[in-house]
Structures are given as structure tokens and as C-alpha cells.
């Protein structure tokens, strides 16, 4: 595909359940980012992967949140024991050296609703 894809597009879950959100970055993009956007708010950085370097996890709000990136491509964001305040749109982005890293290409997001 030409762009960043995310799945599922919508996820409704019950409080306390675990969820996994998937991101497929643009092929060849070595930098991958996860952001969270609560209703009517700006984007909040969660985690950043760059090649084989250790990820920047400084934005993860709690130890219930984790992410991995397998094979330098697909990434999964996992939220354990979901809480209602986790409800938000989770956006993934990727970038590459050819755009001087600066332009980030965003996926359509996953809207998570925790009941």
C-alpha cells in the first residue's frame, strides 16, 4: 500500500480487557511513531521507534501500555486492563530519511472506546 495503514479502524472493549492495535508503516520508513488524541484535543506522543535503536517510550502514560515493532516494520500497541480514560483515537505515523525525517505520514487511526 501507498500509505500508513492501521487496524482495526474502530474498537469497542469492556473495562479491564486487553487490546492490541496494529500499524503498518510505509514500506522503507524506518521511523515509526504512536500518538494518542483524546476528543477535541491535540496529539499526545506515546512512543517512537527508529531502526534497531531502543525505542523512546517517554510518552507512555502507564505500564499498562506497551508497544513493539517486529522486523523493523509492523508495530503493535498493546493496552492491558483498559480503563475508560484510555478511550481515544490512536494514531500511527512513519517517516524516512528521504523527507529529512521531518514530515510524518499518518495513518487513519484506531478509535478505541472503553465501556
Partner 1 sequence: SQQGEEDPQALSIQEGENATMNCSYKTSINNLQWYRQNSGRGLVHLILIRSNEREKHSGRLRVTLDTSKKSSSLLITASRAADTASYFCATGQGAQKLVFGQGTRLTINP
Which of 21, 31, 77, 114 lies at the binding interface for partner 1 (CB under 8 A)? 31
Torsion (CA) 54, 90, 31, 43 in degrees, nearest 10: -100
- How far apart (Å, rounded) are the C-alpha atoms in residues 95 and 57? 18
- How far apart (Å, rounded) are the C-alpha atoms in residues 82 and 101? 33
Beta carbon nearer to partner 1, 52 or 102: 102
Beta carbon nearer to partner 1, 25 or 107: 107
Beta carbon nearer to partner 1, 50 or 80: 50
Give SS3 for 37: strand
Residues 44-83 that bind partner 1 (CB under 8 A): 44-45, 48, 50, 56, 59
- How far apart (Å, rounded) are the C-alpha atoms in residues 51 and 38? 28
List of residues contacting partner 1 (CB under 8 A): 4, 31, 33, 35, 37, 39, 41-45, 48, 50, 56, 59, 89, 91, 93, 95, 97, 100-109
Amino acid at each position: 500500500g501507498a500509505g500508513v495503514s492501521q487496524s482495526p479502524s474502530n474498537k469497542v472493549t469492556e473495562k479491564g480487557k486487553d487490546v492490541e492495535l496494529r500499524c503498518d508503516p510505509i514500506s522503507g520508513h524506518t521511523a515509526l511513531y504512536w500518538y494518542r488524541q483524546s476528543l477535541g484535543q491535540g496529539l499526545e506522543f506515546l512512543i517512537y521507534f527508529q531502526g534497531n535503536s531502543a525505542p523512546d517510550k517517554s510518552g507512555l502514560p502507564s505500564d499498562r501500555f506497551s508497544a513493539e515493532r517486529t522486523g523493523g516494520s509492523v508495530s503493535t500497541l498493546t493496552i492491558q486492563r483498559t480503563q475508560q480514560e484510555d478511550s481515544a483515537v490512536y494514531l500511527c505515523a512513519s517517516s524516512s530519511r528521504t523527507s529529512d525525517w521531518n514530515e510524518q505520514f499518518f495513518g487513519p487511526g484506531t478509535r478505541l472506546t472503553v465501556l
